[in-house]
């Protein structure tokens, strides 16, 4: 008998587990278009950090991850000739050691992949012949291409996780805003009709592990089945 598993439900493309992209303001990435002016600070349900809506000098508009201290009307610059100021984006090779950065590119020109969550910050540790060593928020040190760009500052929205969720209802609405499946129930905790690993036995959840009756020597271990059923007379 088939069982409707959550994994299958997700694979069908059902709206129950689809993240509606039309509710997203757009992709937040750095574009190498020179200078840009901050025209608005907005909130996105797809990002934990506030976003800065910018207008580049060529008239194009885009979105950037906003750092702490950024304000509307501020001008940010992108490129090797940008000064060392808050919100400016420069190549890693032009950043001094000890700089606090975020939105680090994985490959030159990809717009930023690392350290984008609220309150996130990385630090330039040193420079070698292999590349620039960056200490990520996890304290892990990674070597990046010197031509990859990063933005100076600390991602805004820090302290978001300091406030306790307290109750399940709050968590429910937080996950519902991003249309994520929550709570995640393990298969062994389900009923037998809902999952192959489900069952009503409380002592040991999951499929029975009784050794087969015709198991060879060495295989008949663990929960060995009884020789016969019923009561002896």
pLDDT confidence of residue 208:
64
Distance of CA 191 to the CA centre of its chain: 31
Alpha-carbon distance values, 91 to 19, 109, 147 (Å): 33, 10, 5
Q: What is the pLDDT of residue 204?
A: 64
pLDDT along the chain (233 residues), means of 10: 70 70 89 93 92 94 95 94 94 95 95 95 94 96 96 94 92 84 83 77 65 80 68 63
Nearest-angstrom CA–CA distance, 56 and 58? 5
Q: Show the domains of the chain with their CATH numbers.
A: 21-73+84-152 (2.30.30.30)
pLDDT attached to residue 73:
94
What's the confidence (pLDDT) of residue 179?
78
Is 5 within 8 Å of 11 (Cβ atoms)? Answer: no
Q: Closest Cα to residue 100, out of 110, 88, 82?
A: 88
3-state secondary structure the chain: CCCCCHHHHHHCCCHHHCCCHHHCCCCECCCCCCEEEEEEEECCCCCCCCEEEEEECCCCEEEEECECCCCCCCEEEECCCCCCCCCCEEEHHHCCCCCEEECECCCCCCCCCECCCCCCCEEEEEECCCCEEEECCCCCEEEECCCCEEEECCECCCCCCCCCCCCHHHHHHHHHHCCCCCCCCCHHHCCCCCCCCCCCCCCCCCCCCEECCCCCCCCCCCEECCCCCCCCC
18 Cβ contact partners less than 8 Å away, ≥ 6 residues apart: 179
**If you search the block for the tokens 């934990």, which residue do you land on?**
48
Q: What confidence score (pLDDT) does residue 45 get?
A: 84
Q: Which of 144, 47, 130 is nearest to 101 (CA)?
A: 144
Q: Among candidates 157, 176, 160, 161, which has minimal Cα distance to 52?
A: 157
Predicted local distance difference test score (pLDDT) of residue 37 = 95
Tell me the chain's radius of gyration from C-alpha atoms: 27
């Amino acid at each position: 008998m088939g069982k409707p598993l959550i994994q299958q439900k997700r694979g069908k493309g059902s709206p129950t587990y689809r993240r509606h992209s039309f509710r997203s303001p757009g992709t937040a990435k750095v574009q190498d278009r020179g200078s840009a002016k901050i025209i608005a600070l907005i909130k996105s349900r797809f990002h934990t950090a506030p976003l800065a809506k910018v207008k580049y000098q060529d008239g194009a508009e885009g979105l950037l991850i906003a750092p702490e201290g950024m304000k509307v009307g501020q001008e940010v610059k992108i490129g090797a000739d940008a000064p060392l100021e808050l919100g400016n984006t420069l190549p890693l090779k032009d950043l001094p050691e000890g700089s606090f950065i975020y939105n680090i590119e994985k490959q030159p020109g990809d717009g930023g992949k690392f350290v984008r969550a609220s309150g996130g910050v990385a630090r330039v540790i040193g420079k070698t012949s292999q590349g620039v060593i960056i200490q990520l928020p996890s304290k892990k040190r990674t070597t990046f291409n010197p031509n990859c760009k990063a933005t100076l500052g600390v991602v805004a929205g820090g302290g978001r996780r300091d406030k306790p969720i307290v109750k399940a209802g709050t968590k429910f609405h937080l996950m519902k805003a991003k249309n994520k499946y929550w709570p995640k129930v393990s298969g062994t905790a389900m009923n037998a009709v809902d999952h192959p690993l489900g069952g009503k036995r409380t002592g040991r959840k999951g499929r029975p592990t009784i050794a087969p009756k015709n198991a060879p020597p060495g295989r008949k271990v663990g929960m060995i089945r009884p020789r016969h059923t019923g009561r002896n007379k």
